[in-house]
A and B are shown apart, each in its own frame.
Chain A
Amino acid sequence: MAAAALVLLVASPLAAREPGQASQWLERLGPALNMTSYRGVFVYARGDRVHSMRIAHRFVDGMVHERLVLQDGGDGEIVRKGMNVVCVLPQQGEVRLDQVIPSGPFAEAYANELVPVSRWYKAELVGEDRVAGYDSVIIALTAKDPHRYNHRLWLEKTSGLLVKSHVGEPGGKVLENFQFTSLEITDDLAESEFEIQTKGREVTHNLDDVPAPQPVQSSVMNGWDLGWRPPGFVPAAAPRSGPGRAVAFSDGVAAFSVFVELEGAVRMPVGASRIGATTVYMRELDAGNARFLVTVVGEVPPTTARKVAESVRVDDALALHSDDS
């Protein structure tokens, strides 16, 4: 049904379906996400879940200041100043954000890699729309192979800020929906808008200072390797996040993470699961004397996730083993 709405939205194509124009917009996307100052409320829906969050965002002295406040469910907010992240967490929910927030260091933005996007997606300027009161252009990214989803991005015309996005299947079904419902692009943001206001347990983390994303090579996959990955997906983050041996891969638009861990006490079912555009694929892998759990999580089709998971080879089971024990 959302697909129908989508079709309606873009039913008035511009005369200019220029790929060149589309890529110019895409080049603005990365910087705009960080360097635009704005406040607003956005809604995020995937699968059956809808969440809204209030956000204030500005760029001061080369640092991102950002405050997000949950608008439904429990109280909670996330304040980020550069690499310093403070979370006040909702009491409910079985998984605490603090288990995962300190996962730095990460590449600040591989949004830069949006440049070669046209190799894997057909980028088109397909129309104009109005989102949260702002005129925006609609960029359609159509996957050139079946390994990734289609994306549709609404970029505000003057700033290039992403104000709405869809992730969908080739058939047109929208799996994930992000949209500002109210937005004010302004430099007039008070200091107080970036201060924690919710009372509760505060968790502070410093994402380690890593000045620039280093080109990550296969060496980051300590003890294991991928026999196959969809073309265009490159390692994007160092695997220092928590206890998992996660490596993230991105093609500049979509990303998936691969986890290879010794199978612990908890036995997990194998197979694929989906929520919105996110697929989780798990499988067991015997190597040496140990059994590993391989998990692929990402905004990729289940078939891609499976193929990636099935291609994982544990090169040095012992190394992995001794590190964990």
Chain B
Amino acid sequence: MDDRLRETLSAMMDDEADELSVRRLLSHSRQDEVCDQWQRWQQVRGLMHKNHSLAEGVDVSGAVREVLDGRPRRISESDPAEPRSAARWQWPAVAMVTMALLVGFGAGAGWESADTKADTTVASAEPNNSAAEQPVDEVALQGLDQEQWEHMSRYLLEHAQHNSVGAGRGSVGYARLVSATGSGY
């Protein structure tokens, strides 16, 4: 997935994607990647807004494509966000709701706790890797309470600071700092 598609996805998160971009996204050859990225972002958003988990892992691209084409969707009564008027339809508001509902706000976090296995992969790719004989247990940070999160954040920020000023990494370090602060935790 290239940066432009990523931008489109990001814009969709913010209700700002234009139709052309969305079509391009939907015609992307690796729909699984697109869905994957979308879901991960939705999970973050879900977490930020403290939403509860709905259905996860549903592919809504077909439904969205139909909406874009102005065709009536074959959907169940239970879909509350079905756009009634395709003509006056605006991409963001309606489809976003549909998509969000279908994809579901996962209980995941920006923290890649789901990536535990990746560590093992890294390790096994390297021969003679004594440092990585066993996979590292990962902590599900979404379970942290407020105090714990603050405590953890302080470490993150101090480290980011070391990087920005100390490492001379300039803006990269600052960006890490901002990224660590986030805007919704």
Contacts and interface: CB of A to CB of B under 8 A. Distances in A.
Contact of B131 (A1, A46, A146): A146
A23 B181 CA distance: 34
B66 interface: no
A248 B171 contact: no
Interface in A1-53: 1-2, 4-5, 30, 33-34, 42, 44, 46-51, 53
Given A95-B150, A303-B132, A33 B178 contact: no
Interface string B1-42: 111000000100000000000000000001001001100110
B178 A47 contact: no
Given A48-B110, A170-B126, A237-B166, A271 B136 contact: yes
B176 interface: yes
A259 B158 contact: yes
Interface in A221-269: 230, 236-237, 241-242, 244, 246, 248, 250, 255-257, 259, 264-269
Contacts of B111: 47, 273-275
Interface in B111-143: 111-113, 115, 118-119, 121-123, 125-126, 129, 131-132, 136-139, 141, 143
Given A44-B179, A95-B181, A165-B172, A307 B165 contact: no
B152 interface: yes
Given A280-B156, A281-B136, A303 B110 contact: no
A281 B155 CA distance: 11
B49 interface: no
Contacts of B149: 94
B89 interface: no
Interface string B155-171: 11111111101111111
Tell me whether chain A's interface is mostly helix, strand or loop, or mixed: mixed
Given A44-B175, A48-B110, A241 B152 contact: no
A94 B154 contact: no
Given A93-B181, A99-B157, A170-B125, A271 B175 contact: no
A29 to B, nearest CB: 9
A298 B166 CA distance: 13
Given A5-B2, A250-B167, A93 B155 contact: no
Contacts of A103: 158, 161-162, 165
A287 interface: no
A215 interface: no
B23 to A, nearest CB: 19
Contacts, number: 248
Contact of A1 (B1, B169, B185): B1
Contacts of B161: 100-101, 103, 106, 241
Given A33-B168, A236-B162, A90 B183 contact: yes
A136 interface: no
Given A259-B158, A266-B148, A146 B136 contact: no
A307 B162 contact: no
Interface in A150-176: 162, 165, 169-171, 173
A68 B171 contact: yes
A132 to B, nearest CB: 11
A169 B118 contact: yes
B165 A106 contact: yes
Nearest to B170: A33
B167 A49 contact: no
Given A4-B30, A70-B178, A302-B136, 20 more contacts: A30-B168, A34-B170, A44-B172, A48-B43, A53-B175, A94-B185, A95-B157, A100-B157, A107-B166, A162-B170, A169-B118, A171-B122, A246-B159, A248-B163, A250-B166, A271-B136, A271-B139, A272-B136, A282-B139, A303-B132
9 contacts: A47-B110, A55-B171, A76-B178, A106-B166, A146-B129, A248-B159, A265-B147, A304-B131, A306-B136
Interface of B: 1-3, 10, 30, 33, 36-37, 40-41, 43-44, 110-113, 115, 118-119, 121-123, 125-126, 129, 131-132, 136-139, 141, 143-144, 146-163, 165-172, 174-185
Report, nearest first, the 8 A-B pairs whose CB atoms are least far apart. A73-B183, A109-B168, A111-B168, A44-B175, A303-B132, A248-B162, A271-B139, A297-B159
